[in-house]
Amino acid sequence: MAKIALITGATSGIGAACADTFAAQGYQLILIARRENLLLSQAQQLTDKYQVKIKTIQADVRDKENINYVLDTLPAEWKEIDVLVNNAGLSQGLDPIDKGDTDDWDTMIDTNVKGLLYVSKVVSSWMVEKKHGHIINIGSIAGKEVYPNGNVYCATKHAVDALSKGMRIDLLPHGIKVTAIHPGMVETEFSIVRFKGDENRAKKVYDGFEPLIAQDIADAIWYAVSRPAHVNINEMLIMPTAQAAATIVKRD
């Protein structure tokens, strides 16, 4: 029977690259994101390319009731999830703490921390029953360092770092692996979202150096997932060669 991966935030960037990578490996996919048109076209493309079964769930990970509902009502055979990739996340704004928008703070905390928890609670309970599974949490260099104006986004990613360690401890008795993947700068829709659609400002973030691409992170995730049963990759911090720390980048 094909293995199953559930990927949140699958319509763009790292999540979309993961969907392609897991489908290429023959996994059945459950893909969650808010933009239904993208989910549907992506599922069609992957089905055509790899002939794998895909279930799309148009949902917002912040909506606890709905997340519980859509996961609980999955057919039993789709609850046999081998890999959960907690990828849905975002940054909004880049302002000093006294000038930040509290709605942006709520969005980041609700998505990056609480959304990850809502999905993890349900899926980890199924993994505990089976005594099998692997949870991949997408953290960030922003979960290892704090940079100017990154305040709340960095706090959410520090929370993902702590939660990954906590999950690893709590799920240890059940043989469930937990891996945190911490990327540096990856060129995706991330900066466009951070700067609320300002594509010129977003593009400048990656000017003068070669950033990571989403596939670099999908490759790292696949490396972690494809280790033998007795090996767990606790975490990986993956940077562009031109980036030494959150704010130290060698630009041409």
DSSP state of 174: G
SS3 7: strand
User: Which residue's CB is nearer to ligand NDP, number 89 or number 93?
Assistant: 89
Binding mask 168-207 for ligand NDP (x = CB under 6 A): ---------------x-xx-xxx--x--------------
Instruction: Please list, in sequence order, all residues whose beta carbon lies within 8 angstroms of the beta carbon of residue 185, skipping any fewer than 6 positions away.
Output: 141, 205, 206, 211, 212, 239, 240, 243, 249
Q: In the numeric block, which tokens belong to residue 150?
A: 């990154």
Q: Does 221 bind ligand 8X3 (CB under 6 A)?
A: no
List the 83-86 sheet strands across, edge first.
54-58, 28-33, 4-8, 83-86, 134-138, 177-183, 235-238
Residue 133: which region, alpha, beta or left (left: phi > 0; alpha: psi -120 to 50)? left
Q: Can you tell me which residue has the tokens 């996994």?
A: 27
CB-side neighbour CA atoms (13 Å) of 31? 33
User: Which residue's CB is nearer to ligand NDP, number 128 or number 205?
Assistant: 205
Is residue 118 annotated as part of the catalytic site, yes or no?
Answer: no
Could you please report the per-residue DSSP string of 9-30? STTSHHHHHHHHHHHHTT-EEE
Q: Does 23 bind ligand 8X3 (CB under 6 A)?
A: no
Task: Indicate which residue of 50, 147, 153, 206 is catalytic.
Answer: 153
Q: What minimum distance in Å lies between the beta carbon of 103 and ligand 8X3?
A: 19
Considering only residues 63 to 82 of the shown chain, the ones binding ligand NDP according to CB under 6 A are none
Q: Does 141 bind ligand 8X3 (CB under 6 A)?
A: yes
Q: Does 31 bind ligand 8X3 (CB under 6 A)?
A: no
Binding mask 80-99 for ligand 8X3 (x = CB under 6 A): -----------x--------
Please report, in angstroms and rounded to a whole number, the separation of the first and last CA atoms in the chain.
50
Q: Does 21 bind ligand NDP (CB under 6 A)?
A: no
Q: Does 142 bind ligand 8X3 (CB under 6 A)?
A: yes
Q: What minimum distance in Å lies between the beta carbon of 202 and ligand 8X3?
A: 11
Q: Does 246 bind ligand 8X3 (CB under 6 A)?
A: yes
User: Which residue's CB is nearer to ligand 8X3, number 157 or number 177?
Assistant: 157
Q: Does 120 bind ligand NDP (CB under 6 A)?
A: no
Q: Where are the beta strands (DSSP E) in the chain?
A: 4-8, 28-33, 54-58, 83-86, 134-138, 177-183, 235-238, 243-245, 248-249
CB-side neighbour CA atoms (13 Å) of 220? 23
Residues that bind ligand 8X3 (CB under 6 A): 91, 140-142, 150, 185, 246
Residues that bind ligand NDP (CB under 6 A): 8-15, 32-35, 38, 60-62, 87-90, 111, 115, 138, 140, 183, 185-186, 188-190, 193, 214
